[in-house]
Amino acid sequence: MLINYGLLPTLCELGSGRTFAEAAARLRLTPSAISHQMRALEAQLGFRLFERVGRRAKLTPEAQRLASVIGEHLSPIDDALEALLDEGKIVRGVVRIGGVLPFSRRWLRPRLVRLMRKHPELELAVSFGPPSVLLPKLQSGALDLALLAEDVESPLLASKSVFVEEFWAVCSPSYLQGASAPTTAKELEQQRYVVYDESRPMHEAWWRGTMGRHAAPPRVVCSIANLDEMLFLVEQGVGVAVLPNYLVAERVSRGKLLRLGARKQVPQNPVRLVWRKSAIETSRFKTVRDALLVPETKPSLAVRG
């Protein structure tokens, strides 16, 4: 089959949901040129690529599938060409970043501001989610970089630690109502707890690390899989919670929260920046990756809000 492969990028642009006019603007062509290219491609392929929906031409399901497959292969080719040609040029184009909450939001805030101020032609696409969603996207190429609060074991992925979170048990002064802070295992077992999910992963890790044994079933007043909501409830005096240090360190230093329990073995968990080993190292990719790997000069990651 004799195909003019130069027409395929145009099909991909239209496969992204863009109109003829939008695709023409991106490709620096006229809408009539786009229409002429697609008629030529239809003639070469021998089947229809478009169907009329009202006054608009829309890709047929078969053409949409073809555009998706072509797009998967054109993107790395474009990246490879850019990596070859853009050394020392302006940092431009899209870099897609994913991350777990709430850590990624706090880690990214200052770094995104610096990146966008320094590189006005850089475009960042940021999304948040659990590792079960982020990892497949990273492996498929839907993400370029991901911040994950867990070790990633894959021969296809590279990673570097950017932060080591610690788990702290905290409560508000109002929760104690003037009583002394609990210190012994027996006293801590009698407290009311706000926990992350029914499996209580952080609570169990903290208890083993600080007490040297498994925890007795805690008196759970709320199980909620959201760290920000857990923090809110603790600040309102509802109970005790085990939370990452980056979320509570500033409040502890200001006396807004109290840190409980022994600190001989503080449970730790690495947070890593992860990327595909096969990723084409364009200037935009390297610029963003390097910026996300730079530690803050402040000793704490705690950020208000």
The whole-angstrom separation of Cα 291 and Cα 301 is 16
**Residues 58, 15 contacting (CB under 8 angstroms):** no
Of the two residues 277 and 75, the one the predictor is more confident about is 277
Contacts 24+ apart (CB under 8 A), 67-76: 67/11, 67/12, 67/14, 67/15, 67/16, 68/15, 70/8, 70/11, 70/12, 70/15, 71/12, 71/15, 71/16, 72/141, 74/8, 74/9, 74/12, 75/141, 76/141, 76/280
pLDDT band at 305 (very low <50, low <70, confident <90, very high): very low
Q: What is the pLDDT of residue 304?
A: 39
8-24 residue pLDDT tens: 777 777 776 667 777 77
The whole-angstrom separation of Cα 196 and Cα 298 is 28
pLDDT band at 252 (very low <50, low <70, confident <90, very high): very high
* Model pTM above 0.75: no
Average pLDDT, the chain: 81
